[in-house]
């Protein structure tokens, strides 16, 4: 998750902290904030959650009018402190601080080129290559705008970037806009903002999702467009396209699962979209049952939609421990295996003797589902029918969602019937691709859905493909 702010009236570090706190679901391995003031940059970054990395005291050591923030979960590069962001480099024009969400498909090539030209890379991330390319261009005499534009043309893959410089915060999205990025405005004055008068100009911010705006009282202006470069400085907000070859392909998985349900993408509420997926699912795959519930939290909106469209009563069936992180995001398979037991507990009195429909947003490896089904039966459920509010995940993602290699994706090699046997359900059905795309308010052509179809909108180099495709 990424965040950026330019403001002479706000405590930029504190706002970055709260925005990152709201964006915590986008990455839980490391968190960091860099601020800029006239004397230079100040950075704090470390492994762990936002609330573990920052406190009132160390946020006070981050002064300035610009802040860039980042939450990380690894896609390219391992889970270690050297890969924590923002990445800060000094250049001919002062420091730059870069926060990246997404994944480049040509990272290896870019890194090899940089090393051959004499740069020593400290981390193993694709993001570091972007930062060094900007530095290289700026050190060679380009201004920030030229240096960044030139760099973006060399990057293939998914990137939503927030870049801090001594005078501006800059946001950019790849030509397909695979990962989200939005612009917000803080215009209101309140007693806790003593430097702000009713006629002072608004402050602008960038955040991965609108939930990162809500928490700091920023108004959602719009999404950064695919291929757009947005500039925030003393003159306010201005923008241009850095490329002419634009083709919107927002990650449909952001809509279905990854982003928070209270977030809006392209003006559309993800909660409402997920309800709609559940309604479609009920129409496509009806079943006779006594109650329907969702796997917390991500399956819940679709379960409510399923209940609405089917007339089957909605109930809670599983209770989630709120203080356990997402099982998927923790890096090892061993941690994932134990994750579910820590996380979900069935409600025996609700389930006893009932025919239940369990809704989840997706099945990736199938390990979560099987554990859930077993737990439901142990708790007394008579029949367990599973309905999934997305199609079978058959292909890995190369654009910044850390789905496993294809041999770990249960639907890559197995039919729906055999998956049903493996996860031990009485019946199993998935939403169709058509319904998934039809249910959005946006143009269905404007999404990436490669993990369901194998049609990758950005060409993936063979070498990368071989690592993850069987």
Footprint of ligand 5GP (CB under 6 A): 257, 295, 298, 326, 328, 360-369, 393, 401, 403
> The sheet that has 94-104: what strands, in order across it?
87-91, 94-104, 157-164, 169-173, 228-233, 236-241
Extract the tokens encoding 90: 């000094």
- Closer Cβ to ligand SF4, 338 or 453, answer by number: 453
- Closer Cβ to ligand SF4, 2 or 450, answer by number: 450
3-state SS string for 224-287: CCCCEEEEEECCEEEEEECCCCCCCCEEHHHHHHHCCCCCEECCEEHHHHHHHHHHHHHHHCCC
Cβ contact 72:29 at 8 Å: yes
Residue 166, φ and ψ in degrees, nearest 5: -60, -30
- C-beta of 377: minimal distance to ligand SF4 in Å? 31
Which of 280, 283, 261, 286 is CA-nearest to residue 272?
A: 261
- Closer Cβ to ligand SF4, 72 or 468, answer by number: 468
Which of 394, 397, 360 is CA-nearest to residue 376?
A: 360
- C-beta of 465: minimal distance to ligand SF4 in Å? 13
Which of 157, 120, 119 is CA-nearest to residue 140?
A: 119
* Alpha carbon distance 191, 203 (integer Å): 16
Query: Quick one: what does residue 446 bind among Mg ion, ligand SF4, ligand 5GP, none, with the CB cut-off 5 to 8 Å set by partner type?
Result: none
Query: Quick one: what does residue 83 bind among ligand 5GP, ligand SF4, Mg ion, none, with the CB cut-off 5 to 8 Å set by partner type?
Result: none
- Closer Cβ to Mg ion, 3 or 257, answer by number: 257
- Closer Cβ to ligand SF4, 110 or 451, answer by number: 451
Query: Quick one: what does residue 369 bind among ligand SF4, ligand 5GP, Mg ion, none, with the CB cut-off 5 to 8 Å set by partner type?
Result: ligand 5GP
- C-beta of 445: minimal distance to ligand SF4 in Å? 14
Query: Quick one: what does residue 309 bind among ligand 5GP, ligand SF4, Mg ion, none, with the CB cut-off 5 to 8 Å set by partner type?
Result: none
Query: Quick one: what does residue 365 bind among ligand 5GP, ligand SF4, Mg ion, none, with the CB cut-off 5 to 8 Å set by partner type?
Result: ligand 5GP
Beta bridge pairs of residue 291: 313, 356
- Closer Cβ to ligand 5GP, 257 or 306, answer by number: 257
Cβ contact 268:440 at 8 Å: yes
DSSP letters along 408-453, please? G-HHHH--HHHHHHHHT-SEEEE--HHHHHHTSSS-GGGEE-HHHH
Residues contributing to the site for Mg ion (CB under 5 A)? 298
What angle (nearest 5°) sits at the alpha carbon of residue 68, between those of residues 135 and 42? 80
Query: Quick one: what does residue 178 bind among Mg ion, ligand SF4, ligand 5GP, none, with the CB cut-off 5 to 8 Å set by partner type?
Result: ligand SF4
Query: Quick one: what does residue 263 bind among ligand SF4, ligand 5GP, Mg ion, none, with the CB cut-off 5 to 8 Å set by partner type?
Result: none
In the three-class reduction of DSSP (H, G, I as helix; E, B as strand; rest coil), residue 240 is classed as: strand
Element (H, E) at 18: helix 12-22
Residues contributing to the site for ligand SF4 (CB under 6 A)? 178, 251-253, 397, 399, 401, 448-451
- C-beta of 87: minimal distance to ligand 5GP in Å? 24
Extract the tokens encoding 223: 């999404």
- Closer Cβ to ligand SF4, 253 or 430, answer by number: 253
- C-beta of 422: minimal distance to ligand 5GP in Å? 11
- C-beta of 270: minimal distance to ligand 5GP in Å? 14
């Amino acid at each position: 998750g990424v965040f950026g702010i330019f403001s002479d009236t706000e405590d930029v570090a504190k706002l970055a902290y709260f925005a990152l706190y709201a964006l915590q679901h986008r990455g839980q391995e490391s968190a960091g904030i860099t601020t800029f003031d006239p004397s230079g940059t100040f950075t704090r970054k470390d492994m762990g959650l936002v609330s573990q990395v920052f406190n009132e005291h160390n946020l006070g050591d981050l002064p300035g009018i610009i802040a860039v923030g980042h939450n990380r979960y690894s896609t390219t590069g391992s889970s270690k402190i050297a890969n924590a962001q923002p990445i800060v480099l000094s250049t001919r024009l002062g420091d730059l601080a870069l926060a990246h969400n997404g994944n480049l498909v040509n990272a290896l090539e870019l890194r090899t080129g940089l090393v051959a030209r004499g740069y020593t890379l400290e981390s193993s991330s694709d993001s570091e290559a972007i930062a060094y390319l900007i530095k290289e261009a700026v050190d060679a005499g380009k201004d920030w705008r030229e240096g960044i534009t030139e760099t973006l043309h060399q990057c293939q893959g998914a990137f939503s970037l927030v870049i801090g410089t001594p005078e501006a915060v800059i946001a950019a999205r790849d030509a397909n806009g695979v990962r989200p990025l939005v612009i917000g405005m803080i215009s209101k004055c309140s007693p806790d903002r003593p430097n702000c008068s009713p006629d002072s100009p608004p402050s602008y911010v960038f955040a991965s999702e609108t939930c990162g705006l809500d928490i700091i009282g920023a108004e959602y202006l719009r999404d950064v467009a695919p291929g757009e470069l947005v500039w925030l400085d003393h003159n306010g907000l201005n923008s241009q396209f850095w490329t002419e070859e634009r083709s919107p392909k927002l990650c449909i998985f952001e809509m279905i699962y990854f982003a928070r349900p209270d977030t809006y993408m392209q003006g559309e509420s993800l909660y409402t979209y997920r309800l709609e997926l559940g309604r479609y699912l009920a129409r496509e795959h009806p079943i006779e049952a006594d109650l329907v519930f969702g796997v917390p939290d991500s399956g819940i909106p679709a379960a409510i939609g399923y209940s609405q469209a089917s007339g089957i009563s909605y109930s809670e069936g599983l209770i989630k421990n709120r203080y356990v992180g997402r099982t998927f995001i923790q890096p090892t398979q061993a941690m994932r295996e134990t994750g579910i037991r820590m996380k979900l507990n069935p409600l025996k009195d609700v389930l006893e003797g009932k025919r239940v429909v369990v809704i989840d947003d997706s099945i990736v490896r199938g390990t979560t589902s099987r554990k859930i089904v077993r737990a439901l039966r142990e708790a007394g459920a008579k029949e367990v029918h599973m309905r999934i509010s997305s199609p079978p995940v058959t292909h890995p993602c190369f654009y910044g969602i850390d789905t496993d290699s294809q041999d770990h994706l249960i639907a890559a090699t197995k039919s729906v019937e055999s998956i049903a046997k493996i996860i031990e359900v009485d019946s199993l059905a998935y939403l169709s691709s058509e319904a998934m795309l039809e249910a959005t308010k946006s143009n269905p052509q404007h999404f990436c859905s490669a993990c369901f179809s194998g049609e990758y909108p950005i060409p993936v180099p063979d070498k990368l493909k071989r690592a993850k495709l069987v």
